[in-house]
Amino acid sequence: MSKLTECIKGRRSIRNFKEEKVKDEDILAILESATFAPSAINKQPWYFIVIKDDALKKQMASIVEAKLTEVLSKTAKDEDTDILINYSKFFTFFEEAPVVIAVLCRPITSPIAVFLERAGIPVDELEDPVHSEIQSASAAIQNMLLKAHDLGLGSCWMTNPLIAAKELESLLRVKKPWYIMSIIPIGVPASTPRMSRRKKISSIVKFINGGS
Ligand SMILES: Cc1cc2nc3c(=O)[nH]c(=O)nc-3n(C[C@H](O)[C@H](O)[C@H](O)COP(=O)(O)O)c2cc1C
């Protein structure tokens, strides 16, 4: 198996971390990998806040927990709320990682929006029909997860904490047009889960062959 294939297939979402510190040079290597991702019209619409401060991590997790509690208190109880209660750790475990990276992005005008506008087809000024910044920042995140794995580190792509997006943005002093699109905890894995189920290739692919 090539090193790349090992990284792609061997990476897991890690949710338990050892206390061991992560070297700054490793964090920088992970972020450098992010910058090599493709981005729409090479806008590189991303920014990274690296949080190593334990008190700040705890504050972020308390904010998320408080918001989750508020949301649950205002929601009629059913199976879905039970799932939320049981999975609340999946919102806050980032606080136990030695490093937490908040990935920010900002809207960019996509080439598609420009062409639609030129053709006289109305497009909301801020609307990007293909969400270019999300697609670009997602490519950067995947590079980060793979590089972390390559360095023997574990990570997890998290959006659940963004239930409290506004509050986290205020705490981290994120100014518009930037917004937090993901939270990525990174550390030495304390345990590595088994591979989660993958759909069979045959169920997700359609070939349209030319010729015969
Ligand atoms: C956009 C996105 C958001 C995610 N958010 C969370 C999250 O908030 N909490 C969490 O525990 N896992 C989160 N995950 C991780 C997924 O649960 C995980 O990738 C999936 O179960 C497959 O497992 P694997 O990453 O180990 O292959 C997220 C993944 C993606 C791509």
In a domain, 209, yes or no: no
CB of 157 shorter than 6 A to ligand 1:
yes
In a domain, 212, yes or no: no
CATH number at 58 reads 3.40.109.10
- Residue 190 domain-assigned? yes
Q: Measuring from atom 7 of ligand 1, which residue has the nearest CA? A: 158
Instruction: Enter the DSSP assignment of 174.
Output: P
Is the minimum distance from the CB of 149 to ligand 1 under 6 angstroms? Answer: no
Query: Tens of pLDDT along the chain (212 residues)?
Result: 999 999 999 999 999 999 999 999 999 999 999 999 999 989 999 999 999 999 999 999 999 999 999 988 888 888 778 877 788 899 999 999 999 999 999 988 777 777 887 888 877 655 677 889 999 999 999 999 999 999 999 999 999 999 999 999 999 999 999 999 999 999 999 999 999 999 999 999 999 999 86
Q: Among 47, 125, 62, 137, which Cα is nearest to 92's? A: 62
Structurally, the chain folds into a number of domains equal to 1
Residue span of the structural domain in which 8 resides: 3-204
Is 142 touching ligand 1 by the criterion CB < 6 Å?
A: no
**Residue 29, burial from CB neighbour count under 10 angstroms (0-12, 13-18, 19+):** middle
Strand-strand pairing, 179-187 and 99-105:
antiparallel
Task: Please tell me if the CB atom of residue 16 comes closer than 6 angstroms to any atom of ligand 1.
Answer: no
The neighbour count for residue 127, using CB atoms within 10 Å, is 13
Please check whether residue 155 lies inside any domain of the structure. Answer: yes
